[in-house]
Amino acid sequence: MPTAETPRPTEVARRLRVAYGIDEPERHEADDPLGGLVGTILSQHTSDVNSDRAYASMRNRFPTWEAVRAAPEGELADSIRSGGLANLKARRIKQCLDAVVERFGGLDLSALASAGLDEARARLRELPGVGPKTAACVLLFSLGRPAIPVDTHVHRVSRRLGLIGPKVSADAAHALLEAALPPEHVYEFHIDMIRHGRRVCHAQRPDCAKCVLRDLCDYYAAVH
């Protein structure tokens, strides 16, 4: 059980770590935050398989970021067609690359590695179409910063557990969850909450009998 010394979010992270094991942090595109940004844009509203295929196709056709930025929008869209919403994503990618050059002086986001977390997040959020989740993905996976991307699984499980309020939006949940966890637990918490949402805490008919968090869960207490 959580105690004054072990708050509920930390106990949740501990139990999920025991249940699902410990992973080494996954780093995207050889720690290239610009690649992480573009990859995250491509991952929106599609599967990992499709977005990975679109990313590989794009890099095969346009092997440098300068080439991606200079590509006609239609040709870029053709190269990422397998990821869905190709026209919209091509436009967003080109807008982001233009904004990166304007605000960072070149096609390079590595300066964010040494910036404060709040500053790095704010600078990413200034880029066109970059919301809290996209910014957090770049910070966590490409820069190794303690940011929590709140996807549908993290949001649902956090609300059911009572780690955030029932009316807290996914966007607002980023700051609340990050503030509640020690930085060293952020990566495993994010990964394991997704696993738990997919395997146990389903959107419909959660499998509470198999849940290692039952005694910590507001939802379980309310329905059982």
Phi, psi of 115 (to 5 degrees): -80, 160
User: If you write DSSP's letter for every residue of 56-90 in order, what string do you get?
Assistant: HHHHHHS-SHHHHHHS-HHHHHHHTGGGS-HHHHH
Tokens read off for 47: 């599967």
133 is annotated as an active-site residue = yes
Phi, psi of 122 (to 5 degrees): -65, -40
CB-based contacts of 60, cutoff 8 Å, min separation 6: 79
List 94, 133, 167, 210, catalytic entry: 133
- The residue with tokens 């929590």 is 148
Residues annotated as part of the active site? 133
